[in-house]
Amino acid sequence: MKNKIVFLILSLIFIVTISITAIFVKKIYQEKIIPVNEKIAIYEKLEKKENKIDKKIQNEIRESKNIQKQTKENQNTKQELEKKLNKYQVTYNKKVIYLTFDDGPSEYTMDILNTLDKYNIKATFFVTCSDNLENISKEIIKRGHTIALHTCTHKYSYVYSSDEAYFEDLNNISNLVYKYTGIKSKYVRLPGGSSNTVSRAYNLGIMSRLSSSLHEKGYKYYDWNIDSNDAGGANSEQEYSNVIGALQNSDRDINMVLMHDTKVSTKDSLDGIIKDALNLGYTFSNINEYTKEVHHGINN
Ligand SMILES: [Zn+2]
């Protein structure tokens, strides 16, 4: 009996202890374990969200890189177009003067180059095989002008004796210019102009043939529409009024002025001509790939 009571009491104590322990364990589980699990779940959710955001950011970075690349390409295209536009503006601006100097280089060419520099004006030199071609042709290019071809000898009786003679003479000056400057010029002026009649004495019909074979060979030839008449003996005052008078009455876009850098009257009148042409609202340009050809009518 006594043993039974002890057993019962011990059992009771055991049950109570187990119950109390169970209650504690449950309480600990509810208070500690569940919150931790919940936290883990929240953390995992956050991690997923973060991954999504990371992916989005990477996509956006990729897109922005593409946009940057595209922008750069567009800028390059824009710059190229602007360059072309500027060239066209120089050429197609109304009232443009192309000063052209034939038959040189000569002892006056350096002075002429200095006057052009004074006004920051570019011009075109149709050169021949003169003694100082080497030095002056380099100087012409260095200062940003156009070097063009007028024939080597400029002897009518030779260059207009046959088509072959003309092109041989043209090749001689072309090769020299190339040797001294590295430039293969494609701009030509025919001695006496394409309208000359002096060639009739040497070869009938040669100007008609040369004018078309020049084009076939890839050359452009330029006559003039304003003559300073320096070759005809005008002094510097006459030369000034020949050019400025013609410019005052001109309604042309392209004013191609014939001058000779072998003439002292040209050296002396150039400063005044440029100054007053600028006052008349003209701009200046040198012959370039966009310059339309100026042609006379052919008379032989
Ligand atoms: Zn000439």
pLDDT values of the chain reduced to their tens digit, one per residue, 300 residues = 678 888 888 888 888 888 888 888 888 878 777 778 888 888 899 999 999 999 999 999 999 999 999 989 988 888 888 777 765 555 555 799 999 999 999 999 999 999 999 999 999 999 999 999 999 999 999 999 999 999 999 999 999 999 999 999 999 999 999 999 999 999 999 999 999 999 999 999 999 999 999 999 999 999 999 999 999 999 999 999 999 999 999 999 999 999 999 999 999 999 999 999 999 999 999 999 999 999 999 999
Contact 215, 247 (CB under 8 A): no
Q: Quote the ligand 1 centre to 104 CA distance (angstroms).
A: 9
Task: Give the tokens for residue 139.
Answer: 């100087």
Q: What is the DSSP letter of 147?
A: E
Report pLDDT for 78. 83
Q: Quote the ligand 1 centre to 101 CA distance (angstroms).
A: 9
d(CA 66, CA 33): 49
Of 217, 209, 218, residue with least CA distance to 160 = 209
Report pLDDT for 88. 56
The amino acid at residue 153 is: T
d(CA 83, CA 93): 15
Q: Quote the ligand 1 centre to 171 CA distance (angstroms).
A: 16
SS3 221: strand
Report pLDDT for 113. 98
Report pLDDT for 281. 93
Report pLDDT for 27. 84
Q: Quote the ligand 1 centre to 50 CA distance (angstroms).
A: 82
The amino acid at residue 126 is: F
Residue 100's φ and ψ, nearest 5 degrees, are -125, 135
d(CA 271, CA 258): 16
Report pLDDT for 38. 85
Find the Cα–Cα–Cα–Cα dihedral 81, 82, 88, 90, rounded to 10°.
-160
Q: Quote the ligand 1 centre to 128 CA distance (angstroms).
A: 9
Q: Quote the ligand 1 centre to 269 CA distance (angstroms).
A: 19
Taken in order 162, 166, 230, 194, the sign of the CA dihedral is positive
Q: Quote the ligand 1 centre to 105 CA distance (angstroms).
A: 12
